[in-house]
Amino acid sequence: MTDKAWKPKRVGGSAPESSSKEYLVELSMPSSEGKTGLEKILSSIDGIRIKTGKEAEVPALVILELAENPEETYSLIREMTKTAKGTEIFLTSSKLESTILLEAMRAGTKEFLAQPIRQQEVEEAIARFKERAAVTGNVKSEDRQKIGKVLAFFGGKGGVGTTSIAVNLAAALKKMSSTSSVVLVDVNQHGGDLPLYLDLQPNHSFRDIAADPSRLDLAFLTRVLAKAESGLPVLPSGYDDLSTGRLSPDCVETTLKLLQANFDFVVIDCGHVLDLTTKKALELATSIYVASTLIVPVVHRTKRILELLRGSGFAPQKIRLIMNRYLSAEQDVLKETEEILKQKTFWTIPNDYPSVSQAVNSGKPIIEVAPRSPVAKSFMDLAGSVDESAVQSSSKGGLSAWFSPFKGRRTESAPSRA
């Protein structure tokens, strides 16, 4: 890959510490000839830095090459303009038909660079890009960089509802706020079945990233994300116990950092096996939600998991216990269990097998199939608790109706002693 063969060169002569003032440009081009030419020209332009391998930084400009099937490129451009607002997209191709130019512009392309690449054309396009950036004032990467919340869900034991919780919380977060962006990620490599919960048959997964992690950039990431019916982007694991290969901690780290830079919420299903890969996801998490139920073997394993997490140096305030399938008559059992676990419950989710299984079997979130059920309301409330700001910014009517009857669902905002 040519990425390894070259080093970005700054002709402007700025000291390295001024690099944050540069415009970061990502070249997403399979053809090496056009790419090499563009790299050469761009690296001679002052204030432009070409994105290299592993940086989890949102580029100010992405230059895409038209794919064999132009429709693929148009839909990628449309997705990218939605995900990375403020990032400009240029298209380059040796095909110069007017219909291609028109469709590309309609999809959201700002400039078209004809191949073979001409220096003057590139310089003029970059000059116009800089002018627009100066007007909007938000194109430099440090202004647009998100530091999304990473919410990791880990099962105290298999089958406790970890995937159901991750899927439904992500759906609730998405429904709650039109301004916050949410992505749902499956890092469970022992039974990565998350797409089934949203009736998805994805073509891509972590496997595509793992095949060549150096390819990971905004354009590539946008390509591998599947879209649920509601528009929720999903990154499937692609691994299970029966498949070959393993998801590496490095691959998870690079991917999660890039997702965090592009989305307000990164919701992760970590499954229930604590291996190096899951541990990496938990390390990167803003909060770790350990899912459990009030069943003796589950409590037993949850206790071990909590001890392991505390013993591994995870900050106690980062760990939150979710008690799934909870019945209000079980208040005393819950109290006893909290003592055993040495952990207060952060949230309880009611037991509602008909609603939850109807949702799973229809491949839709519970808030869609049973919006008035207590379990759906519990998920909306949980989403509100992880995004207080979204609650305030949401329209009054729709949301206040969700919140009032379930205020007491959160049993404790801070976890107990470690």
Residue numbers at the binding site for ligand ATP (CB under 6 A): 155, 158-164, 191, 271-272, 324-325, 349, 351-353, 356-357, 360, 375
> Taking contact as CB under 5 A, which single stretch among the options 97-105, 157-165, 220-228, 239-247 is the one that binds Mg ion?
157-165
Q: Binds 159, which of Mg ion, ligand ATP, none (CB < 5 to 8 A, cut-off by type)?
A: ligand ATP
Least CB distance to ligand ATP at residue 324 (A):
5
> Taking contact as CB under 5 A, which single stretch among the options 160-168, 318-326, 374-382, 388-396 is the one that binds Mg ion?
160-168
Site size toward Mg ion, by CB under 5 A: 1
Q: Binds 208, which of ligand ATP, Mg ion, none (CB < 5 to 8 A, cut-off by type)?
A: none
Least CB distance to ligand ATP at residue 291 (A):
7
Instruction: Give CA separation, 204 vs 234, 266, 304, 368, in Å.
Output: 10, 18, 35, 25
Q: Binds 161, which of Mg ion, ligand ATP, none (CB < 5 to 8 A, cut-off by type)?
A: ligand ATP
Name the residue among 86, 92, 28, 27 with its Cα closest to residue 60.
86
Least CB distance to Mg ion at residue 183 (A):
18
Least CB distance to ligand ATP at residue 377 (A):
12
| Nearer Cβ to ligand ATP (261/376) | 376
| Nearer Cβ to ligand ATP (126/349) | 349
| Nearer Cβ to Mg ion (236/384) | 236
| Nearer Cβ to ligand ATP (56/273) | 273
Least CB distance to ligand ATP at residue 183 (A):
18
Q: Does 292 bind Mg ion (CB under 5 A)?
A: no
| Nearer Cβ to Mg ion (188/254) | 188
| Nearer Cβ to ligand ATP (157/215) | 157
| Nearer Cβ to ligand ATP (35/272) | 272
Q: Binds 158, which of ligand ATP, Mg ion, none (CB < 5 to 8 A, cut-off by type)?
A: ligand ATP
Answer for which of 92, 93, 163, 168 binds Mg ion (CB under 5 A) is 163
What is the number of the residue whose Cβ is closest to Mg ion? 163
Name the residue among 284, 235, 288 with its Cα closest to residue 257.
284
Least CB distance to Mg ion at residue 268 (A):
12
| Nearer Cβ to ligand ATP (93/168) | 168
| Contact footprint for Mg ion (CB under 5 A) | 163
